[in-house]
């Protein structure tokens, strides 16, 4: 199922999205595996970001390292057609807490600075088994405007 946002699109499972718009115009949309929540997609569109791409990527990478037991992490420049710049952060390691503590967790986080200056942050988290590869959602992301 395609999700269309302001200036972008991506493919998401046919789950009901949860949408929130903050007072500054920042829009958060999330999808989660019905019943289990072991596969989550969080998309944040910030039309007026006040942080640099490098700071956003560093903060995201650090949050993953603190949030669970990351054993492998990469932070690399990414190519997104039409973007001013992009970074891809991937994480892997045991979930470490709660009902999924014995399961591996895989995250993929694409942070895009558009040519208009907006920042789009696409985070896909998978813990447990039987989930799609988080990169399948990341790879479906396209700027449209």
Domain spans in the chain, listed from the N-terminal domain onward: 2-143
C-alpha to C-alpha distance for 73 and 132, rounded to whole angstroms: 19
Q: What is the pLDDT of residues 25-49, one digit of tens each?
A: 889 999 999 888 889 999 999 988 8
Give residue 29's pLDDT.
Answer: 94
CA atoms within 13 A on the CB side of 103: 14
Fold (CATH) for 2-143:
Protein Transport Mog1p; Chain A (3.40.1000)
Digit-coded pLDDT (tens) for 114-137: 999 999 999 999 987 788 899 999
Asked if residue 97 has pLDDT above 80, the reply is no
Tokens of 134: 């988080």
Mean residue pLDDT of the chain comes to 91
The fraction of the chain above a pLDDT of 70, given in percent, is 100
């Amino acid at each position: 199922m395609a999700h269309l946002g302001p200036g972008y699109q991506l493919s998401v499972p046919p789950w009901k999205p949860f949408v929130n718009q903050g007072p500054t115009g920042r829009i958060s949309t999330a999808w989660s595996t019905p019943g289990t929540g072991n596969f989550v997609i969080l998309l944040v569109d910030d039309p007026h970001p006040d942080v640099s791409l490098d700071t956003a990527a560093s903060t995201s990478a650090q949050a993953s390292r603190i949030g669970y037991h990351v054993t492998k992490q990469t932070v690399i420049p990414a190519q997104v057609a039409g973007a001013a710049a992009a970074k891809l952060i991937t994480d892997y390691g045991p979930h470490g807490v709660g009902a999924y503590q014995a399961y591996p967790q895989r995250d993929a986080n694409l942070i895009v600075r558009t040519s208009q200056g907006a920042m789009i942050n696409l985070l896909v988290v998978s813990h447990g088994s039987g989930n799609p590869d988080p990169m399948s959602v990341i790879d479906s992301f396209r700027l449209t405007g």
